[in-house]
Structure 1
Amino acid sequence: MKYIIFLAIISLAFSCISTRQAATPVAANTDTIPSLIKGDFADDYDIRYTLTDSLFTQYPQARYHILKWNTKEQYFVARNDTANPSEKGLYSRIDYMYFQNMEPWHWGFCLTVYNAPSDSLAEVQAIADRKNPRKGCNGYPFSRMKRR
């Protein structure tokens, strides 16, 4: 009888360990900023930007706190700063793409979603059309970026 109780306790212990491991959340995408888009930039309209691993700033006062990078699909998800002029504290998906033979423009971005109530909704709500960079950003062109 003691042997059966011992086996039951061991079985229960292993069951708890397995359940606990399965319930551990999967780590968020740990991609980081590609070097080509990291730094200080200006767009077609001479608006200035700074992009780091954790913050996308559109000067003078819009900031987006980056929560997730997806370099394979070329986008990141961010929370809008609570001091932004609009969509304060909501979530954005910002798609980007690389340009070839368009110097000095090497990449562009699209604020694909800017007012989602959650990061997960921002991520799945819309996708920019990179095959058509002139109209692939919700009917508008991608903002072309050059280094400052």
Structure 2
Amino acid sequence: MYRFLFLALCIASCATVPKAARQRLPEWMTGAFTDDYGIRYTISDSLFVMNGPARYRILEWNEKEQYLLAQNDPANKTDGGLFTRIDYMPFRGMEPYLWGYCLTVFNAKDLAAARQAAAADRAAPRKGCNGYPFSRMKRVE
């Protein structure tokens, strides 16, 4: 009995916490948002949810290079279980839009492929997302 409890305690204490769970996204990037296409979002340190179409579980956050790596929810209508790179950038002078994002790649076969995807072009946010504009995000009051 004691061996089982000891083993269970060791396993629980040795379990790793995903990198995204240890890091907190910037406050300006979490909460409820709508984009300039009318899609609503709920974003936390661990989930990026496009209300209705898709859910992404955040696995890593690269603050310096401004991107998130996520795994697509298995229940997503397309690309379920695959991996996504979400590049983002804060905006200045575009109020009420605070920031924008780009699904740089949304169907990578693994996390390494998503990580290695070419970054979105933040110098040209109107076409830097694979030829399309970054989706602009404003907070829902």
Q: Distance in 2 between matches of 1:75 and 1:62?
A: 18
Of 109, 122, 133, the match for 2:101: 109
Stretches of structure 2 lacking an aligned partner (at least 5 in a row): 1-17
Partner of 2:61: 69
Asked whether the equivalents of residues 23 and 45 of structure 2 are also in contact (C-alpha less than 8 Å), the reply is no
Partner of 1:39: 31
Partner of 1:6: none
Q: Percent identity?
A: 57
Structure 1 residues 48-87: aligned runs within 5 Å: 48-87=40-79
Q: Which has the larger radius of gyration?
A: 1
Q: Give the letter for the 1:126 counterpart.
A: A
Q: Distance in 2 between matches of 1:137 and 1:61?
A: 19
Q: Quickly say closer, same or farther: Cα 1:31–1:71, change in 2 above 3 A.
A: farther
Partner of 1:95: 87
Give, in angstroms, the shift of residue 32 of structure 1: 2.6
The TM-score, its normalising length taken from structure 1, stands at: 0.79
**RMSD value over aligned CA atoms?**
1.6
Q: Deviations over 1:66-119 (max 9, x none)?
A: 000111111000000000010010000000001000000010000001000001
Q: Secondary structure at the match of 1:49?
A: strand
Q: Distance in 2 between matches of 1:61 and 1:132?
A: 27
Q: Secondary structure at the match of 1:89?
A: coil
Stretches of structure 1 lacking an aligned partner (at least 5 in a row): 1-26
Q: Which runs of 4+ in 1 moved over 3 A?
A: 27-31
